[in-house]
Structure 1
Amino acid sequence: MHQILLMKNGKKQNVTQLIGSLAWSSNIDALGEELSFNYAYNDSQFFKKWDLIEVGDQVALFNEGKFLNYYVVITDAMNGRFGKSFTCFDRSWYLNKNETVIQFKKAAASQAIAKLLDKFGVKHQIASMPTLITKIYKEELVSDIIADILEQVYQETKQRYRVEMNKGILTIQKMSDLVINPISRLSDNTYAFPVTDTISNPSRERSIEEMKNKVIVVSEDEKSTKVFAEASDPKSISKYGQLTDVVTVDKKNASQARNIAANTLSEMNKMGETISCEMIGHDEIRAGRILNMNEPVTGIVGKYLIKSASHTVNNGIHKVSVELEAV
């Protein structure tokens, strides 16, 4: 059973009995997880002692006594005289709201991100990333700086990383390491089964809308048209027509131009495939994880990256809707 605890004035208070529907979601393109819930409320003086949650408070999500994550209450909404709803985000929300100025000179990417987070007192656990970062950032959001550094890492190494707040610690891990096989059971006296066996309402879409089969790496200098490297796939061009992507780099990264061109082509020279489906909920299912799927009716077979995950708990029933991408 999922529970919400209010963390306020150094105390913990279980407010689960005052909460109706509960939902939380994550997205591969966003830093931070969103939590929302309905809250019992009326404007009579007799209910004031139960009007406990305020904007700026922190709550914690638990399941069967296991701590899952902290969230900050960002907004509350009144629904007439009766009922409130709250929207919360995990603590990485602050990284989306703070700008800074910082300079890196030949700093390993992981060390650069650690230095940035230390400025804001954010606890972190970061995978080693030796890519050297030399850049000055001014008036940029902390989250955007992290995203830019990770993009430089990807261009050099073809390795994607997942950034997320995990129990109050900002973690950055190789996405390829985040393969999960969530197992569930309906009750203590029933057999355990893979959650992916409970797929319902599956849909599958394939498209070349975002495909690129030629990549040109050029100088970011507006006064220069110098081409550092090119990469292309003649067979793909013959079949689908030429689809070109231009990548700009500064002089410091010109030596990596061939790698950047090859890695970008490898990433983008493929047919896009988007899957959506529902299944029994499991707390391990989060954006950035990789699932092994086997749904032969729609051909959803193999490894799929979770692009988004939307959990709901209503009347004690936990479900999750996911959007997947083939990897």
Structure 2
Amino acid sequence: MAAGYVDEHKLVLYRDGAQPRDITAFASDMTLTDDLDTLAAELTFTTFISPWDKYTPKLALAPGDKVRVTNQGKTVFSGVIITVTLDGGVTAYDRGWYLNKSEIVLQVNNLAADQVIRKACAKAGVTVGKVCSLPTKITQLWTGSTPSDIISDVLDTCTSATGKQYRHRVDDSGLQVEALPTAPIKAFHKPAKNIAAFDITWALGQVSGEDSIEDTYNAVVIAAEDDGKAYIGAQASNAASIKRYGFMQHIETVTENPGTAVLGQMVKNLLKNADKVGQTRSISEIWGCDEVQSGVVLRFNSPAFGIKGNFRITRVEHHYGGAGHTMALEITALEQVRAAAEGKTDAAAIKAASTDKVQVFGLPDLSGGSDGGSGGTIVKALFTAYYPANNALEGGYLDAQGNRLDPSKHTCAAPPSVPFGTKITVRDTGTSLDGMTYTVNDRGGAIQIKNGVYHFDLLMSSNAECNRWGRKNGSAIIGGSGGGSGSAVSFINTALGEVGYKESGKDINKYGQWAGHNGVAWCVYFVCWCAYKSGAPIPTSYGYVGDMSSYFKSRGKYKSAGSYKPKAGDLMIQGDRHIGIVISAGASSCETVEGNYSNSVKRVTRSYAEISGFCTPWG
């Protein structure tokens, strides 16, 4: 700790094939800059260059040379020289610089945030040291983004979900990711051996700063976009702040549905952090301490300078040499009241300033997306059969619009956010209703969106049918044309449209990438992709042939080859090895479209002797 020693910073040069060299005496204006918003720390210094003076050492520093700053044997900075100017100016960065240089492609599906960070670093060839647990699930595609950008996106998502803030840096052991500390540290400076160390917050240079609502928001909405449609998952606002400062709203977009519980926590955290008057201060000069890095917290007690309480260091410049080790700081207040409570002392006003209105509506399954043909949106669904009851308590024979219920018209009740007249196509229930399209004409008190699952009540033709069918989990296509969605024709046409596609490398293809399992056998993923795009009543989460055939066997929808002539849209099964989509059938053979056939999508003619059986999703 700095309280126990006098600073003695040294600059050491490392080159391949040469011994480390102390070049401190040949460097001036050495400054180490550490900013919380950047991944790499920057070291700058100037070397004296005199080509005509034979007594001036010629260091010949060059990009790629390694340098290290030490203090009493402890490493303060380790990095690589990036730029050398003709007049002797040198700029070096720590290894976090490489996370800003390489552009990568990364797709993840429901993966924990800490694992996303590890994947991004692996693609960029950057070693990972310690990453704290980040269980927030991420589903996103980055194309041409740097790992630094990806890490920032991921940590922003985690902050929204948890309310915690995080910092990341790269040291000798690799990338370090941790939650930002909230407890202040004690920072000391010892100017000489015969002088006692002192708390650096006692002696401040010039202080400047501002209080501003430039980045303040008193209303927050969490929204998502899917297939051209916008959804509001949750919203929160603070009436006291709006009354005092005016309406200032922030829209936070998400790419997946985290569930209603998480949405509620997210919107509360976002508003709590945003509904504050920003207090920033700059200290032009203060005694130096190596422990002062971006992200740490210092406690100040200088109300005359507008600095009292805990402040986080957002940027620090360490200056070495000259007057000794000094720093310039940029800090922001850590302990701030809500915006409407600024300047207030009475308890009622402070309580009102912290009273938020929070509404959580839920989101559809955003990992579903478009149905690929009808223009609708796929969501998770819970379907319940119902039949008109001739009593006022259950609505009688009338729908919510006052019209008589008619089972022959295939209507349903839906959550309030789904407009009357919207087409709803049933999927994935494993029943004969898969592919059937209903029209929304009714409501119900319990028919809501819960944890991202849409509840629909399907009108049946009789009480007996209602009791037989009961309640089923599945998925639904909301909107679109209705008739063609989820049909065998749509499924087959989707598959035929892929004929000729070839993988770009060994098992590298868009179907595996879509499923989040690229680089493996992909015949099943091709079938799932076609089902997903067309809205076919086929599960889309499998990657193993045996799982797909077992799904249909358990529902009585599997036929052995030889005893059954397949129909267009059936799935051709070869043991646990291969799968394809039937497009036509004859007496002794059938024609299929198959993925991963000779590394591509092809039309294939198969004799029934080659085939184990058929899955029959269409009944």
TM over 0.5, yes or no? Answer: yes
**Alignment RMSD (CA, Å):** 1.8
What is the CA–CA distance in structure 2 between the aligned matches of 1:161 and 1:238, rounded to whole Å? 32
- Seen in structure 2, the aligned counterparts of structure 1 residues 131 and 299 have a Cα distance that, compared at 3 Å, is same
User: Secondary structure in 1 aligned to 2:134?
Assistant: coil
Partner of 1:243: 248
What is the CA–CA distance in structure 1 between the aligned matches of 2:165 and 2:41, rounded to whole Å? 19
Structure number having the greater strand percentage: 1
What is the CA–CA distance in structure 1 between the aligned matches of 2:304 and 2:43, rounded to whole Å? 33
Q: Is the 8 A contact 2:128 2:174 kept in 1?
A: yes
Matched, 1:9 2:13: no
Q: Is the 8 A contact 1:109 1:131 kept in 2?
A: yes
What is the CA–CA distance in structure 1 between the aligned matches of 2:55 and 2:117, rounded to whole Å? 47
Partner of 1:224: 229
- Seen in structure 2, the aligned counterparts of structure 1 residues 221 and 105 have a Cα distance that, compared at 3 Å, is closer
Q: Is the 8 A contact 2:69 2:78 kept in 1?
A: yes
User: Secondary structure in 1 aligned to 2:300?
Assistant: strand
User: Secondary structure in 2 aligned to 1:306?
Assistant: strand
- Corresponding letter in the other structure for 1:98: S
TM-superposed CA distance for 1:258, in Å, is 2.2
TM-superposed CA distance for 1:33, in Å, is 0.6
Q: Percent identity?
A: 29
- Corresponding letter in the other structure for 1:106: N
Partner of 1:190: 195
- Corresponding letter in the other structure for 2:287: I
- Corresponding letter in the other structure for 2:64: G
TM-superposed CA distance for 1:183, in Å, is 1.4
Aligned pairs (5 A) from 1:175-186: 175-176=180-181, 179-186=184-191
Matched, 1:60 2:60: no
- Corresponding letter in the other structure for 2:23: V
- Seen in structure 2, the aligned counterparts of structure 1 residues 166 and 292 have a Cα distance that, compared at 3 Å, is farther
Aligned pairs (5 A) from 1:2-81: 2-10=9-17, 11-44=19-52, 46=54, 50-79=58-87
What is the CA–CA distance in structure 2 between the aligned matches of 1:212 and 1:123, rounded to whole Å? 36
TM-superposed CA distance for 1:259, in Å, is 2.2
Matched, 1:259 2:259: no
Partner of 2:320: 313
Partner of 2:275: 269
Q: Is the 8 A contact 1:276 1:321 kept in 2?
A: yes
- Seen in structure 2, the aligned counterparts of structure 1 residues 137 and 155 have a Cα distance that, compared at 3 Å, is same
Partner of 2:290: 283
User: Secondary structure in 2 aligned to 1:164?
Assistant: strand
Partner of 2:94: 90
Partner of 1:158: 163
What is the CA–CA distance in structure 2 between the aligned matches of 1:182 and 1:281, rounded to whole Å? 9
- Seen in structure 2, the aligned counterparts of structure 1 residues 211 and 222 have a Cα distance that, compared at 3 Å, is farther
User: Secondary structure in 2 aligned to 1:44?
Assistant: coil
Q: Is the 8 A contact 1:276 1:322 kept in 2?
A: yes
TM-superposed CA distance for 1:127, in Å, is 1.0
Q: Is the 8 A contact 1:69 1:168 kept in 2?
A: no
TM-superposed CA distance for 1:247, in Å, is 1.4
User: Secondary structure in 2 aligned to 1:147?
Assistant: helix
- Of 317, 330, 345, which residue of structure 2 is paired with 1:323? 330
What is the CA–CA distance in structure 1 between the aligned matches of 2:204 and 2:227, rounded to whole Å? 50
**What CA deviation, in whole Å up to 9, does each residue of 1:219-240 have, x standing for no partner?**
2337223221110000111111
Q: Is the 8 A contact 1:204 1:298 kept in 2?
A: no
TM-superposed CA distance for 1:45, in Å, is 7.3
**What CA deviation, in whole Å up to 9, does each residue of 1:240-287 have, x standing for no partner?**
111111111124336433222211111110001011112101111121
Q: Is the 8 A contact 2:219 2:247 kept in 1?
A: yes
Q: Is the 8 A contact 1:274 1:326 kept in 2?
A: yes
TM-superposed CA distance for 1:20, in Å, is 1.6
Query: 5+ unaligned residues in a row in structure 2: which ranges?
Result: 1-7, 335-619
Q: Is the 8 A contact 2:215 2:274 kept in 1?
A: yes
150-159 vs 41-50, which moves further: 41-50
- Corresponding letter in the other structure for 1:111: Q
TM-superposed CA distance for 1:47, in Å, is 5.8
What is the CA–CA distance in structure 1 between the aligned matches of 2:98 and 2:183, rounded to whole Å? 25
TM-superposed CA distance for 1:315, in Å, is 2.3
Q: Is the 8 A contact 1:126 1:172 kept in 2?
A: yes
- Seen in structure 2, the aligned counterparts of structure 1 residues 102 and 47 have a Cα distance that, compared at 3 Å, is farther
Query: 5+ unaligned residues in a row in structure 1: which ranges?
Result: none
Dislocated runs of 4+, deviation >3 Å: 253-256
Q: Is the 8 A contact 2:222 2:234 kept in 1?
A: yes
TM-score (norm 1): 0.93
What is the CA–CA distance in structure 1 between the aligned matches of 2:68 and 2:321, rounded to whole Å? 18
Q: Is the 8 A contact 2:95 2:171 kept in 1?
A: no
What is the CA–CA distance in structure 2 between the aligned matches of 1:47 and 1:9, rounded to whole Å? 25
Which one has more relative contact order, counting CA pairs under 8 Å at least 6 apart? 1
What is the CA–CA distance in structure 2 between the aligned matches of 1:169 and 1:198, rounded to whole Å? 35
User: Secondary structure in 1 aligned to 2:311?
Assistant: strand
**What CA deviation, in whole Å up to 9, does each residue of 1:184-232 have, x standing for no partner?**
2121222221111121211231111111001112123372232211100
Q: Is the 8 A contact 2:126 2:174 kept in 1?
A: no
TM-superposed CA distance for 1:116, in Å, is 2.3
Matched, 1:126 2:131: yes
TM-superposed CA distance for 1:167, in Å, is 3.3
- Seen in structure 2, the aligned counterparts of structure 1 residues 6 and 196 have a Cα distance that, compared at 3 Å, is same
What is the CA–CA distance in structure 2 between the aligned matches of 1:121 and 1:46, rounded to whole Å? 42
- Corresponding letter in the other structure for 2:317: S
Q: Is the 8 A contact 1:22 1:37 kept in 2?
A: yes
User: Secondary structure in 2 aligned to 1:196?
Assistant: helix
What is the CA–CA distance in structure 1 between the aligned matches of 2:331 and 2:184, rounded to whole Å? 13
Matched, 1:100 2:107: no
271-280 vs 97-106, which moves further: 97-106
User: Secondary structure in 1 aligned to 2:257?
Assistant: helix
Q: Is the 8 A contact 1:164 1:171 kept in 2?
A: yes
